[in-house]
C-alpha cells in the first residue's frame, strides 16, 4: 500500500513520494490502485478528477484525502482577467474557447426531463466574483436593469421563501458564445473586476469517474466548488459535482461542497438506462420512461452486490441550483448522516420537479439520519420506491417544504425528526410510519390513482409488483402536531373514515363479493393512529383512542439559530408529563399491506424505535415527540 502526494510545487514527472510529489490530483488518480492513499496538500486545484482505478473491498479502499490541517480546494472553474469597462458598471471579457475543451457551459442550456422553467433559457455557465455566484441575465440590454431579471416560482413553497440573495441579485452576467471565443459581459455594481477574483465554471464536475464500476473510493476533507453540472432527472444521466457514477461502496465525508449549477453529490443512475427520452421524443409520458428506467437498471446490474451502499457523512453542502444530494437507484442501501445542507434551489433561476436538499428515487433500505436541512426549496423528497427507507433524527426548518414522500408503498419509517417549516409534510404514498416526530406545519395527504409504481422483494432491488397509491395504510404514533396561524391542515383528522384494522378493511371489501379491483378501489384502506399529542389547533383522528389534545394551548414553538448552534424552544401543558406511551417495534408497527413486509433493519433484523433526536435511549414507555427530555412548562433545548 502506497501513499502518493500531490502539491502545487510538484511535477507530474515525479514519482509522487512526499519529497517528489505530483502536481495534479489526476496524475495520482491515474497511478494509485486499491489500498493506496492519495494525500493532497494545500492549494487550489482546477481540474476534474476522474478516478481510473477502483478499490477492491471495504478493507482495500482507494483513499483521496486533503492533508491534515491544510485547505485543499478543487474547483471546476478558471480565473478570467483583463476585463474591459464598457459603460459604467458594465464590463466585458473575451475568452478563448480552448479553455472549455469540448464542453462550453455558456453555450449549453440547463435541460432535461421534468425541468419546467421552459419560458426562458438558463445556461450551465456561472460567473463568480470573489467566490460569490452572479446571476444570469436574459439579454445584453437587461444587464443595465438587473432588477428585471427573470425569476421562476417554486412549486413547493407554501409561503414564499425569503430572498437570501437579495443583496447579490443585481450582480448579473450575459454570455455570447461564438465559434472561437465567448464574450461575457457583466454588471459588477461598482466592483472593479480587475481588482477582484473573477472565475467562470468550465468543467461539469470536480470528482466524478468517467467509467462506471469504480468501487470503494473514499474522498475526505476537500472543498469542492464551481461546477457546471447538468439537470439530473431520474430518467437522465445524473451528474454531480462529486459522485460514484453507478458504483458501490463510496465514502464521501467531511467535505465542503458548494456552488454546483445543479447537483452537489450524485448517487444516481448512468446514461445507458435512459437519457431524458421524454423531452427528446414527447411520444409517451415521462412516468412511462421512468418505469422503463427501473427495469433497465435491473437488466444492467442494479443489485446490492454491485450498486449503492455508499456513506455520505459530515459534509457541508450549499448553494446548489437543483439538489444537495440526488440519486435514482444508485442511492440504494446507503447511509446519509450528520450533513448540513442549505440554500438549495433558492436562487429561482430555473425550476423543475426534481429539486430538494436530498432528492432520492428508489432509496431502498437507505438511512437518512441526523442531518440539518434548512433554507431549501424542499428539504427531503423521497420519490418512488421508498422501501426500507428510514428517515430519523433530522432537523428541518426555514424550507419551502420540509418533507415529501411520493408514490411509494413502504415500508418506510419517519421517526424522531423535527419538521418546523410552515409547510411540513406532503404524503402521497401508502405503507408509511411516522413515529415520535414534531410536525409543526401544514400537511397534505392524498392518493395517486393514475400512476402505478414498483415495489420490491424485501431488502432487494428485485421488482415484486406495481400498483397505484390508494391512500391509507399509514401509521402515526407518538407524534406532536402543532398547528400555527398560517397553517391550514395539521394533524391526523384527514384520515377520518378509514378503518382501523386490516381485517375490518377486508370485511368491508367483501361485502361486495364477488369482487376484484373495483371493490378495493371503492373502500378506504386501514390506518393505525394512536398516542399522538395535538396543540395550537391541530386535530386528531376521530377514532384515535389514546391522545392528548390541548387545541387552544399555544406552544410558542420555534427553532432558533444561535451562532452555529440550534435550539428548540416550546412550551407544553402540564398534562404532557403524564402522557406516556409504548415504544414502537417491528412487532407493534402493523404489517404493510401491498408490499407484504414488516418494518425492519436493512439486514432484516427487528427494529426498536427507542433512540431520540439527542441519542437518548429509552426502555420504558416514552413521551410523544423526538426529545425525551421535553416536559410540561417552558423548554429550551440545544438540538445541534
Q: What is the rounded distance in angstroms from the CA atom of residue 5 to the CA atom of residue 23? A: 9
β-pairing verdict for 565-572 and 132-133: unpaired
The pLDDT of residue 152 is 62
What is the structure's pLDDT at 488? 85
Q: List, for residues 6-65, the tens digit of each pLDDT value.
A: 999 999 999 999 999 999 999 999 999 999 999 999 999 999 999 999 999 999 999 999
Task: Specify the pLDDT at position 148.
Answer: 64
- pLDDT tens for 350-365 read 889 999 999 999 999 9
Contact 637, 444 (CB under 8 A): no
Coil, helix or strand at residue 19: coil
The answer to whether 7 touches 14, Cβ cutoff 8 Å, is: no
Which pLDDT band, with edges at 50, 70 and 90, does 157 fall under? low
The average confidence (pLDDT) of the chain is 95
| Cβ-proximal residues to 443 (8 Å cutoff; 6+ apart), any chain | 424, 425, 426, 427, 489, 490, 491, 494
Residues 6 or more apart from 334 whose CB is under 8 A from it? 267, 308, 309, 310, 311, 312, 327, 363, 366, 367
Domains of the chain, CATH where assigned: 3-75 (no CATH), 78-201 (2.60.40.1180), 232-271+302-491+525-638 (2.160.20.10)
574-626 tens-digit pLDDT:
999 999 999 999 999 999 999 999 999 999 999 999 999 999 999 999 999 99
Q: CA 314, 315, 317 angle in degrees (round to 5)?
A: 145
- Answer yes or no: is pLDDT of 162 > 60: no
> Quick one: pLDDT at residue 512?
87
Cβ-proximal residues to 564 (8 Å cutoff; 6+ apart), any chain: none
Q: Is 537 helix (H, G, I), strand (E, B) or coil?
A: coil
Nearest to 325 by CA among 293, 387, 371: 371
* Residue 118 confidence (pLDDT): 66
Residues 6 or more apart whose CB falls under 8 angstroms from that of 224 comprise 73, 74, 75, 206, 207, 241, 242, 255, 256, 257, 258
Chain segment 211-258, per-residue pLDDT in tens:
999 999 999 999 999 999 999 999 999 999 999 999 999 999 999 999
pLDDT at 605: 98
What distance in Å separates the CA atoms of residue 306 and residue 42, rounded to the nearest whole number? 35
Do the beta carbons of residue 243 and residue 78 sit within 8 Å? no
Distance CA 533, CA 546 (A): 9
* Residue range 188-207: mean pLDDT, rounded: 97
Concatenated DSSP letters of 299-357: HTT-STTTSB--EEES-EEEEESSEEEEEESTTTT-EEES-EEEEES-S-SS-BSS-EE
Amino acid at each position: 500500500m502506497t501513499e502518493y502526494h500531490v502539491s502545487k510545487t510538484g511535477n507530474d514527472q515525479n514519482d509522487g513520494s512526499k519529497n517528489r510529489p505530483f502536481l495534479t490530483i489526476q496524475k495520482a488518480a491515474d497511478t494509485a490502485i486499491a489500498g493506496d492513499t492519495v494525500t493532497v496538500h494545500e492549494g487550489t486545484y482546477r481540474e476534474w478528477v476522474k478516478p481510473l482505478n477502483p478499490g477492491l473491498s471495504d478493507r482495500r479502499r482507494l483513499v483521496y484525502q486533503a492533508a491534515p490541517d491544510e485547505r485543499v480546494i478543487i474547483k471546476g472553474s478558471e480565473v478570467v482577467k483583463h476585463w474591459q469597462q464598457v459603460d459604467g458598471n458594465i464590463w466585458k471579457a473575451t475568452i478563448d474557447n480552448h479553455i472549455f475543451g469540448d464542453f462550453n457551459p455558456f453555450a449549453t442550456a440547463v435541460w432535461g426531463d421534468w425541468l419546467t422553467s421552459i419560458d426562458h433559457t438558463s445556461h450551465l455557465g456561472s460567473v463568480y466574483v470573489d467566490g460569490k455566484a452572479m446571476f444570469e441575465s436574459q439579454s445584453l440590454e437587461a444587464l443595465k436593469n438587473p432588477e428585471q431579471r427573470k425569476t421562476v416560482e417554486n412549486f413547493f413553497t407554501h409561503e414564499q421563501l425569503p430572498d437570501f440573495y437579495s443583496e447579490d441579485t443585481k450582480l448579473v452576467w450575459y454570455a455570447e458564445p461564438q465559434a472561437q471565443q465567448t464574450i461575457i459581459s457583466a454588471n459588477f455594481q461598482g466592483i472593479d473586476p480587475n481588482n477582484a477574483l473573477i472565475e467562470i465554471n468550465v468543467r461539469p464536475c470536480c470528482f466524478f469517474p468517467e467509467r462506471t464500476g469504480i468501487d470503494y473510493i473514499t474522498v475526505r476533507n476537500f472543498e469542492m466548488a464551481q461546477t457546471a453540472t447538468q439537470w439530473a432527472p431520474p430518467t437522465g444521466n445524473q451528474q454531480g459535482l462529486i459522485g460514484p457514477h453507478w458504483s458501490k461502496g463510496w465514502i464521501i465525508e467531511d467535505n465542503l461542497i458548494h456552488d454546483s449549477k445543479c447537483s452537489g453529490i450524485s448517487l444516481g443512475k448512468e446514461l445507458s438506462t435512459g437519457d431524458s427520452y421524454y423531452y427528446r421524443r414527447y411520444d409517451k409520458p415521462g412516468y412511462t420512461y421512468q418505469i422503463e428506467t427501473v427495469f433497465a437498471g435491473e437488466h444492467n446490474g442494479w443489485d446490492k452486490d454491485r450498486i449503492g451502499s455508499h456513506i455520505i457523512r459530515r459534509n457541508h453542502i450549499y448553494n446548489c441550483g437543483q439538489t444537495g444530494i440526488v440519486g435514482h437507484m444508485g442511492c440504494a442501501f446507503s447511509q446519509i448522516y450528520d450533513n448540513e445542507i442549505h440554500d438549495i434551489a433558492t436562487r429561482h433561476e430555473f425550476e423543475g420537479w426534481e429539486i430538494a436538499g436530498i432528492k432520492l428515487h428508489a432509496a431502498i433500505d437507505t438511512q437518512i439520519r441526523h442531518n440539518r436541512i434548512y433554507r431549501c426549496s424542499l428539504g427531503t423528497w423521497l420519490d418512488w420506491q421508498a422501501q426500507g427507507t428510514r428517515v430519523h433524527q433530522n432537523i428541518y426548518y426555514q424550507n419551502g417544504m420540509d418533507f415529501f414522500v411520493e408514490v411509494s408503498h413502504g415500508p418506510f419509517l419517519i421517526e424522531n425528526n423535527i419538521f418546523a417549516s410552515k409547510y411540513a409534510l406532503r404524503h402521497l404514498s401508502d405503507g408509511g410510519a411516522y413515529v415520535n416526530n414534531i410536525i409543526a406545519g401544514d400537511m397534505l395527504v392524498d392518493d395517486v390513482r393514475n400512476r402505478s409504481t414498483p415495489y420490491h422483494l424485501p431488502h432487494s432491488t428485485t421488482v415484486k409488483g406495481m400498483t397505484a397509491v390508494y391512500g391509507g395504510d399509514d401509521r402515526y404514533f407518538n407524534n406532536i402536531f402543532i398547528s400555527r396561524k398560517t397553517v391550514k391542515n395539521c394533524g391526523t383528522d384527514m384520515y377520518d373514515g378509514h378503518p382501523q384494522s386490516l381485517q375490518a378493511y377486508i370485511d368491508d371489501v367483501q361485502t361486495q363479493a364477488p369482487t376484484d379491483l373495483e371493490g378495493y378501489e371503492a373502500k378506504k384502506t386501514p390506518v393505525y393512529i394512536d398516542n399522538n399529542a395535538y396543540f395550537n389547533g391541530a386535530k386528531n383522528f376521530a377514532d384515535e383512542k389514546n391522545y392528548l389534545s390541548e387545541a387552544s394551548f399555544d406552544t410558542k414553538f420555534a427553532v432558533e439559530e444561535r451562532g452555529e448552534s440550534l435550539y428548540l424552544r416550546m412550551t407544553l401543558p402540564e398534562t404532557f408529563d403524564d402522557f406516556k406511551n409504548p415504544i414502537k417495534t417491528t412487532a407493534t408497527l402493523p404489517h404493510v399491506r401491498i408490499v407484504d413486509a414488516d418494518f425492519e433493519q436493512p439486514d432484516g433484523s427487528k427494529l426498536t424505535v427507542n433512540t431520540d433526536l439527542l441519542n437518548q435511549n429509552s426502555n420504558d414507555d416514552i413521551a410523544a415527540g423526538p426529545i425525551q427530555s421535553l416536559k410540561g412548562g417552558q423548554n429550551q433545548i440545544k438540538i445541534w
